Amino acid sequence: MKAAVLYPNESTPRYAEVPNPVVARHDDLLITVKAAAIKNIDRSRASGIHYSSDSNTADLLTIVGSDGVGLLADGRRVYAISENGMGAEEAVVRNDFTVPIPDSLDNATAAALPNAVMGSAMGLRVRAGMQPGETVLINGATGFTGRVAVQIAKHYGAKKVIATGRNPESLQALLAMGADEVISVDQTDNDFMGQLRALHTSTPIDVIVDYLWGHSAELLLTALKGRGAFTHPIRFVSVGSMAGDTIQLSAAILRSVDLQLSGSGLGSWPRQDVGRLFQEILPEMFQLAAAGQLTIQTVTVPLADIESIYTAAIPSGKRLVVTMN
């Protein structure tokens, strides 16, 4: 079969012939792939730099793409996750990691949406325990997952959604997606923190979902620093680190604010909540997307063109999806 194959010591996958996958476990299924999303986590895991990468496979070829959409042997169309790569004509998937797809939802949307749901709904509901009526700040909301997070926060009943980002046009687009306030990170540190403090004073922030980390997270936390009086409880959830993997965090911030700091990602989710993801959260989000109440944008290319598109710059807020015949 044909697949997008990343060979050792190479940075771009090739469109190559590989052996067909073989089902080896009783709870595994063979799927004929129709579309596979290519995400930052897929690139970093394939190259071995993601924290979840297996160092023992560094010298082996890798089929890129960890999830996508396809047809099972009985004809059912499902979203699925594959441990051995989804950017291929066929893949082996775990039965308990599949979700039926509404008939009216296209393959590209169904393939691209779930990772963003994991990066937003799991942070909002599982790690932050968001409740209806709360105020949510999405730091780095102009990216693909951030846009989904804004919409899901509103769907979950957020009273106010504050979105930060750099691109002015993308920030304005977020207002149509449900954001109530937007803040540009492309301004002086003092101005950025001043806007945050003003909003936090008028409508105290309950939940922060952060996709940037780095300097912007430092500014966020500094802006929330208390002054020796009772403070509003804040749950800060780190989901991404597009602006840097480390920060400087003053101990005074932790002592002066009622702050819960946690992360949301592979390894941080309780087993029972992963079950909820596949049994409840993803099916609900697929239905919302099918009804036009949750919107995303994709860039689709045939699998055969993977070599020319893999390292290309995908427009902000869009997800690359490879499609198969």
Strand, coil or helix: 60: coil
Residue 243 lies in a domain: yes
Rounded CA gap, 218 and 205, in Å? 16
Comparing 10-14, 146-150, 317-321, the range with the smallest average pLDDT is 10-14
* Whether residue 170 sits in one domain with residue 79: no
| Residue 61 in this model has a pLDDT that exceeds 70 | yes
- Report in angstroms the alpha-carbon separations of 120 from 68, 162, 216, 270, 278: 18, 14, 19, 16, 14
* Whether residue 196 sits in one domain with residue 159: yes
Q: What is the pLDDT of residue 45?
A: 57
Residue 132 lies in a domain: yes
Rounded CA gap, 264 and 129, in Å? 12
Rounded CA gap, 109 and 298, in Å? 7
Residue 57 lies in a domain: yes
Rounded CA gap, 30 and 23, in Å? 7
Q: What is the pLDDT of residue 54?
A: 56
Amino acid at 210: D
Comparing 47-56, 97-106, 281-290, the range with the smallest average pLDDT is 47-56
As a whole number, the mean pLDDT across the chain is 93
- Count of alpha carbons within 13 Å of 45, Cβ hemisphere only? 18
Asked if residues 316 and 19 have their Cβ atoms less than 8 Å apart, the reply is: no
* Whether residue 235 sits in one domain with residue 312: no
Domain of residue 258: give its range: 120-263
Which residue, 303, 324, 264, is CA-closest to 64? 303
Place of tokens 């687009």: 173
| Residue 158 in this model has a pLDDT that exceeds 60 | yes
Looking at residue 313, which CATH number applies to its domain? Answer: 3.90.180.10
Rounded CA gap, 167 and 51, in Å? 29
Looking at residue 141, which CATH number applies to its domain? Answer: 3.40.50.720
| Residue 58 in this model has a pLDDT that exceeds 80 | no
Q: What is the pLDDT of residue 284?
A: 98
Q: Which of 263, 279, 314 is the last residue in one of the domains?
A: 263
Contacts 24+ apart (CB under 8 A), 99-104: 99/278, 99/282, 99/283, 99/286, 100/76, 100/283, 101/69, 101/77, 101/286, 102/286, 102/287, 102/290, 103/77, 104/290
* Whether residue 44 sits in one domain with residue 107: yes
Which residue, 320, 323, 273, is CA-closest to 303? 323
In the chain, pLDDT over 70 holds for what percent of residues? 95
CB atoms within 10 A of CB 306: 26
**Count of residues in the chain:** 325
| pLDDT tens figures, 261-314 | 999 998 999 999 999 999 999 999 999 999 999 999 999 999 999 999 998 889
**Burial annotation 36-54 (CB, 10 A radius, 16+ → b, else e):** bbbbebbbebbeeebeebe
- Count of alpha carbons within 13 Å of 76, Cβ hemisphere only? 12
- Report in angstroms the alpha-carbon separations of 307 from 4, 10, 99, 251: 8, 12, 29, 47
* Whether residue 86 sits in one domain with residue 137: no
Asked if residues 68 and 260 have their Cβ atoms less than 8 Å apart, the reply is: no
Asked if residues 126 and 266 have their Cβ atoms less than 8 Å apart, the reply is: no
| Residue 50 in this model has a pLDDT that exceeds 50 | no
Residue 184 lies in a domain: yes
* Whether residue 101 sits in one domain with residue 136: no
Residue 286 lies in a domain: no
Stretch 165-189: mean pLDDT: 96
* Whether residue 49 sits in one domain with residue 104: yes
**Burial annotation 197-230 (CB, 10 A radius, 16+ → b, else e):** eebbeeeebbbbbbbbbbebbbbbbbbbbeeeee
Residue 253 lies in a domain: yes
* Whether residue 21 sits in one domain with residue 144: no
* Whether residue 133 sits in one domain with residue 98: no
Place of tokens 């952060």: 210
| pLDDT tens figures, 105-144 | 999 999 999 999 999 999 999 999 999 999 999 999 999 9
Number of folded domains that form the chain: 2
* Whether residue 187 sits in one domain with residue 132: yes
* Whether residue 247 sits in one domain with residue 138: yes
pTM for this prediction:
0.93
Q: What is the pLDDT of residue 75?
A: 97
Q: How confident is the model at residue 6 (pLDDT cuts 50, 70, 90)?
A: very high
Q: How confident is the model at residue 60 (pLDDT cuts 50, 70, 90)?
A: confident
Residue 273 lies in a domain: no
- Report in angstroms the alpha-carbon separations of 209 from 111, 129, 149, 316: 23, 12, 8, 19
Residue 282 lies in a domain: no
* Whether residue 187 sits in one domain with residue 161: yes
